[in-house]
Amino acid sequence: MSKKHLNIVLLIGVAFIWGLLIYKALGNSFVSEAEQQNYVVAMNEELPISIQKDTFELKSYTRDPFLGKIKNNRKLVPKTKNGGAFAKKAKDVVKKQWPQLQYLGFVKEENAKEPLLLLKVNGKLIRRKSSFEFYEGMKVLNFYKDSILVSFRKDKRTIVKGDFNGKVKK
């Protein structure tokens, strides 16, 4: 098929599609008045509004239909109000464990806003800006040339440069 024939077929197809679109858009104007009246009457009839609820019971299957395994029927264990004294003691023990922390100093560039702190936590060298958390909730509150003030799990300590773990400050 030559290019000329292909163009003619495509133009006829496009004209047919546009004709259908125009007919659909203006199609209501070609309907007789009697048919329009029937349509309006059908639209105005009120349907009875009644909603009936359908109730049914779901069965509890013991076999999983997809895996073919039998389900365990789990029993709920009621929680105690006080939570137990053992749970509170365990939390206190975890709170008081500070990691091994050593302050090595800080480096400040001429155009930097915040200096870069050099810390050693559990034997790992950490370089962070002073405003960020650097180890599992540990945060530097204030820093000086010779020491830093660190908070860890609501506990504050002052750590002197080169010293481990520092003194508790309240």
CATH number assigned to the domain comprising residue 152: 2.30.30
In a domain, 146, yes or no: yes
DSSP 8-class letter at 27: G
Q: Is residue 140 part of a domain?
A: yes
Residue 163 lies in a domain: yes
* Alpha helices, H only, the chain: 3-26, 33-44, 85-95
Tell whether 104 is covered by a domain.
Answer: yes
Confidence of residue 170 (pLDDT cuts 50, 70, 90): very low
Give domain status of residue 160, yes or no. yes
Q: Label residue 19 by pLDDT band (50, 70, 90).
A: very high
Residue 35 lies in a domain: no
Residue 10's pLDDT is 96
Q: Which domain holds residue 115?
A: 94-168
Structural domain includes residue 65: no
Residues ≥6 apart with Cβ < 8 Å to 168: 155, 156, 157
Q: Please count the structural domains in the chain.
A: 1
- pLDDT, tens only, 27-63: 766 666 777 666 666 566 666 677 787 787 877 767 7
